[in-house]
């Protein structure tokens, strides 16, 4: 015989005047067990019965207080997702992947859009602590690991960065390795004065990339030019600022590694306008392989962001194990290098 679930008990106990679980079963023409299964998202219920139950609930004006259910089950079916912005394709694709997997597990996403404000990140961590969410996926953070560490006992926290030395699961790109490979590709193509465009100066991924850059130019015995590094490059519009800076330099870089295809596309469009020949006068190597890179024929490193999002969600569902997954990037040769 089927065990009566906690959720059902609450439904029965807190059943309001309108209808209780027995009424729902009667209205839907199914057993109480079936209603219970539907309420608990049990997989083995036929679509027809499920529809009948959901219709009965709808028609009955039956309002179980779900917060009472959460209290008894200790589960919210909500996963927090920390992103700095939601209007950037990079995070849009990650969210899309997380959402696709969440759907399969009947989870909803609570979005924390932080603009890299640490206080917003703390709010997300606090919601995990207060059991308002079951797990937290941090796509990009400003908080130190020391801060996050205090919250790992409250529920799964998953990072989208190399966290192999940390006590949380992670899905990541080895940015040191991929930056190094990209620099090597440009070097092999004959470019010597190589610069790069990036978002933040700080952050785990930025540090790894900068280290790869420093190590590379040392290896190939090129001088370090501070002004070959362009910060605060996130969006299309930032490309124009980069090109204007290039135009004012005596010895501008001959190639740029651009950590977002959005910015790469902005640089390319601005160069076309100012009749700077690509790649002869400036080579551009983007990141992510977004649709805009395909449309504008930008050579780029493909990062399977949708897939990364899916993996992050699945890691967030594992309460009892920590694991790390590295995602490989792939060079897509087009016309800008």
Applying CB under 8 A, which residues contact its own copies?
Answer: 54, 58, 63-68, 70-71, 76, 78, 81, 85-89, 92-93, 95-96, 99-100, 103, 108-113, 120, 122-123, 127, 129-132, 150, 154, 235-237, 239-240, 265-266, 269-270, 291-292, 294-296
The nearer residue to its own copies, 174 or 302, going by C-beta atoms, is 302
For residue 211, which phi and psi values (nearest 5 degrees)? -65, -40
The nearer residue to its own copies, 126 or 167, going by C-beta atoms, is 126
Mutual orientation of helices 305-316 and 89-104 as an angle, nearest 10°? 50
Answer yes or no: are the C-beta atoms of 329 and 178 closer than 8 Å.
Answer: yes
Instruction: Name beta bridge partners: 176.
Output: none
What tokens does 156 get? 């799964």
Closest approach of Cβ 99 to its own copies, in Å?
4
Closest approach of Cβ 215 to its own copies, in Å?
34
Query: For strand 169-172 and strand 194-197, is the pairing parallel, antiparallel, or unpaired?
Result: unpaired
Closest approach of Cβ 291 to its own copies, in Å?
4
Closest approach of Cβ 103 to its own copies, in Å?
7
What tokens does 16 get? 């309001």
Q: Which residue has the tokens 């209603």?
A: 35
The nearer residue to its own copies, 13 or 108, going by C-beta atoms, is 108
- Residue 171 C-alpha from the chain's centroid: 10
Pairwise CA distance, residues 270 & 290, whole Å: 19
Instruction: Name beta bridge partners: 193.
Output: none
The nearer residue to its own copies, 112 or 185, going by C-beta atoms, is 112
Closest approach of Cβ 53 to its own copies, in Å?
12
The nearer residue to its own copies, 87 or 248, going by C-beta atoms, is 87
The nearer residue to its own copies, 29 or 291, going by C-beta atoms, is 291
Closest approach of Cβ 236 to its own copies, in Å?
4
Name the 3-class secondary structure at 79. Answer: strand
The nearer residue to its own copies, 122 or 276, going by C-beta atoms, is 122
Torsion, Cα 325 103 97 91, to 10 degrees, reads: -110
Query: For strand 255-258 and strand 194-197, is the pairing parallel, antiparallel, or unpaired?
Result: parallel
Closest approach of Cβ 91 to its own copies, in Å?
8
Query: Got the DSSP string for 110-170?
Result: EEEE-TT-HHHHHHHHHHHHTTSSSEEEESS--S-HHHHHTTGGGS-EEESS--TTSSSEE
């Amino acid at each position: 015989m089927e065990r009566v679930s906690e959720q059902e008990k609450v439904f029965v106990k807190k059943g309001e005047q309108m209808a209780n679980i027995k009424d729902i079963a009667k209205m839907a023409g199914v057993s109480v067990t079936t209603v219970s299964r539907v309420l608990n998202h049990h997989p083995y219920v036929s679509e027809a019965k499920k529809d009948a139950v959901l219709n009965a609930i709808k028609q009955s004006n039956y309002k179980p207080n779900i917060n009472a259910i959460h209290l008894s089950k200790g589960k919210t079916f909500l996963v927090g997702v920390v992103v700095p912005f939601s209007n950037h394709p990079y995070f849009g694709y990650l969210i899309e992947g997380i959402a696709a997997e969440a759907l399969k597990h009947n989870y909803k996403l609570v979005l924390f859009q932080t603009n890299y404000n640490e206080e917003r990140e703390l709010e997300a961590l606090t919601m995990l602590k207060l059991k308002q969410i079951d797990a937290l996926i941090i796509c990009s953070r400003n908080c130190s690991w020391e801060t996050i560490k205090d919250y790992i006992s409250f529920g799964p926290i998953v990072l989208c960065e190399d966290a192999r030395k940390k006590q949380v699961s992670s899905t990541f790109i080895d940015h040191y390795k991929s930056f190094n490979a990209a620099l090597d590709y440009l070097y092999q193509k004959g470019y010597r004065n190589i610069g790069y465009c990036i978002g933040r100066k700080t952050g785990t991924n930025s540090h790894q990339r900068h280290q790869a850059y420093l190590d590379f130019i040392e290896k190939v015995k090129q001088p370090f030019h501070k002004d070959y590094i362009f910060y605060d490059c996130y969006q299309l519009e930032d490309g124009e600022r980069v090109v204007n800076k290039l135009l004012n330099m005596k010895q501008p870089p001959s190639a740029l590694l651009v950590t977002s295809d959005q910015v790469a596309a902005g640089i390319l469009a601005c160069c076309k306008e100012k009749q700077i020949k690509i790649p002869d006068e400036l080579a551009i190597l983007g990141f992510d392989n977004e649709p805009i890179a395909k449309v504008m024929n930008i050579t780029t490193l493909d990062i399977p962001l949708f897939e990364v999002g899916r993996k992050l969600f699945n890691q967030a569902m594992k309460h009892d194990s920590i694991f790390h997954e590295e995602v490989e990037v792939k060079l897509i040769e087009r016309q800008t290098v």
